Amino acid sequence: MTEQEIKALVSLLDDDDKEVLQLVEKEIRQQREIIIPYLENEWEGAGFNPKIQRRIEELVHELQFEVLLERLSTWHHGGAIDLLEGLWVIATYQYPDLSLESLRSDFEQFYYETWLEFKEDMHPIDQIRALNHVFFSKLKFGSNTKNFHAASNSMINIVLESRKGNPITLCCIYMIVAQRLNMPVYGVNLPNLFVLTYKKDAVQFYINVFNKGLVFMRSDIDHYIAQLNLKSNDSFYQPCSNLDILRRVLRNLTLAFEKTGDSDKVKEIERMSAVLQEPIEE
C-alpha cells in the first residue's frame, strides 16, 4: 500500500459502521508493523476521542506483540546463541522502541571498564575478584530486595539503568561481560536461585551475583539442596543453556504479573513461553 492509502485506512478507525471498522482493523493487521507509525500519528490527532485512542493503542500493541513473537521464534530456532539478543526481545514487550545496538554499546563500556583491571594470567578466583570489583564497586550493580518480584527486574534495559535487579538478570549481565573477557562463566539453574559457575577443565566453582559475587563450592550446593529437602540433580551443578535462561526469565515475568493481577499480560507471557517450547526441526 502507498503512504496515502495507509493514511486513508487509518482515518477510517472512527467509522460508526461496525462492519467497516472490522474490515479496517483486519486490513491494518495485515499491514503488520509498517503501519505502526501511522497509527501513532492518528492517535495524536484523536486527542478528543479516547475511544479511538484506546483502540489504536490496542492495535499498536497487537502488532508490536506479533513482531516480538516472531523475533523470539527466530532467536529460538536460530540456536539461541546470543543471550543479550534474547533478553532484548523480552524487554521489547514493555519497551518496543528499545534498541539492541544501544544495549550492545552499554556492554562494550562495561567490558572496557573490566578489561582495564583484568589479566588473563590471573588465577580464576582473582579474575572473579577483579570482575566483582568493577561490577559492584565501580558500576554499582546490586540486588533489588525492595521490589524483588517487580516486572522491571526482568527488563534488561531497566536493570542496566537502575543498577538493581533480581538474581537472573544480574547474573546475565555479569556473565555476558565475563564471556566477553573469554572467561568460562555460565548460568546454573538452582531451585529458587540463579547463580553462575566458573568451569574449565578440572576447575569449577560458583558465583552468587545476587550476594555481591560471593564464591562458593559444590558442597555449598549440596547443603542448600538438603535444606530444601530436594533430591540432587545434575542440573543443579552444571551450566544451563541460554534457552533455559530465557525460559526462567519468562517464569519470573509471569509471577510478577500474577502478583499484580494483570491476567492479560500473564496470558501474553505464556504465549512467549510457548514459543520457547517449540520443537526445533532438524
pLDDT tens sequence across 52-107: 777 788 888 888 999 999 999 999 999 999 999 999 999 999 999 999 999 999 99
Report residue 231 as a C-alpha cell.
533430591
pLDDT tens sequence across 157-181: 999 999 999 999 999 999 999 999 9
pLDDT tens sequence across 40-66: 776 665 555 677 777 788 888 888 999
Place of cell 556473565: 175
* Strand boundaries in the chain, DSSP class E: 142-143, 164-165, 185-190, 193-200, 203-208, 214-216
- Global confidence as pTM: 0.89
Listed by start position, the domains of the chain span: 3-77, 83-275
pLDDT at residue 46, rounded to an integer? 54
| More confidently predicted of 112 and 26 | 112
- Phi and psi, residue 277, nearest 5°: -100, -5
Report residue 282 as a C-alpha cell.
532438524
For residue 12, the 8-state DSSP code is G
For residue 202, the 8-state DSSP code is T
